[in-house]
Amino acid sequence: MSEVQWNEVESYIAGRIIGEDAALSGALDAVEAAGMPAISVAPPEGKLLHLLARMLGARRILEIGTLGGYSTIWLGRALPEDGRLISLEYEPRHAEVARANIERAGLSDRVEVRVGLALDLLPLVEADAGGPFDLVFIDADKASIPEYIRWSKLLTRRGSLIIVDNVVRGGRVTDGNSEDPSIVGTRAMFDLLAADPDLDSTAIQTVGSKGYDGMAFILVK
């Protein structure tokens, strides 16, 4: 099956049921115009994040890896008026583009982008969150995924959901000899999930405009 077909099916699904609007498509346009990488989640994935946050009744959301705020907007739109989303981003330029996109989406009152290395910011997030996060979306450097999972456990509660993007990487996740830090980090995440009795999880393979990849879904028990 060809990537052309994956793209056609994604466009079909998006055209029928995703409901992307000017703020979302404008965010992707701004990412492209700024010369930032085309690694925002695909529209059906963004909608999945949004629906899951609504199903959970999420009031506090943590995102690690903002880029231009495309996934941030999908997640932020699931929040009630008094809800809060904190998104962590290393690149000041990305954060700047994201903040403008979030402003255009009318979400500046509940969404905050913080600039720095996520592992430096996470200890501060703990103090400011005002309670445990209901949902964490991990989508930054893949080498640090195990540490992000450990932090997520500290910052969530029983019943919270942790979602991790890019856990398949064209199938390279199965290569136990890989020295690519992204693959090593992702495989260490699967080892951690297999061994942790406090976490229950699955992972789904995805195809579409972002190629062949996948997402992990982790319930904090």
Residue 40 is which amino acid? S
Determine how β-strand 84-89 pairs with β-strand 111-115.
Answer: parallel
208 contacts: CB under 8 Å, gap ≥ 6:
6, 7, 9, 10, 42, 44
Write the CB contacts of 7 (distance below 8 Å, at least 6 apart in sequence). 208, 209
Beta bridge partners of 135: 61, 161
Asked if residues 219 and 167 have their Cβ atoms less than 8 Å apart, the reply is no
Task: Describe the crossing of helices 43-56 and 3-13 by its angle, rounded to 10 degrees.
Answer: 50
- Integer Cα distance of 158 and 24 in angstroms: 32
In the block, tokens 């699955």 appear at: 202
Shortest separation between residue 176's beta carbon and ligand DHB, angstroms:
20
CB of 40 to ligand SAH, least distance (A): 3
Chain positions contacting ligand DHB, by CB under 6 A: 39, 139, 165-166
x/- site string to Mg ion, residues 149 to 178, per CB under 5 A?
A: ----------------xx------------
41 scored as a contact of ligand SAH (CB under 6 A): yes
Which residue is nearest to ligand DHB, using beta carbons? 39
- HSE (side-chain half, CA atoms, 13 Å) at 1: 9
- List the one residue from 10, 134, 141, 213 that touches ligand SAH (CB under 6 A): 141
Taken as a whole, the chain contains a residue count of 221
Q: Does 87 bind Mg ion (CB under 5 A)?
A: no
Taking CB under 6 A as the rule, does residue 10 contact ligand SAH?
A: no
Least distance (Å) between residue 126 CB and ligand SAH: 16
| Contact partner, 118, from ligand SAH, Mg ion, ligand DHB, none, Cβ < 5-8 Å per class | ligand SAH
User: Measured from the CB atom, is 48 or 83 closer to ligand DHB?
Assistant: 48
Q: Pick one of 68, 139, 140, 151: the residue that binds Mg ion (CB under 5 A).
A: 139
Residue 14 is classified by DSSP as I
Query: Which tokens sit at 201?
Result: 């999880």
Among 48, 50, 59, 70, indicate the residue that binds ligand SAH (CB under 6 A): 70
Within 189-218, which residues bind ligand SAH (CB under 6 A)? Answer: none
Q: Which residues would be at the binding site for Mg ion (CB under 5 A)?
A: 139, 165-166
Q: Which residues would be at the binding site for ligand SAH (CB under 6 A)?
A: 39-41, 65-67, 70-71, 88-91, 94, 117-118, 139-141
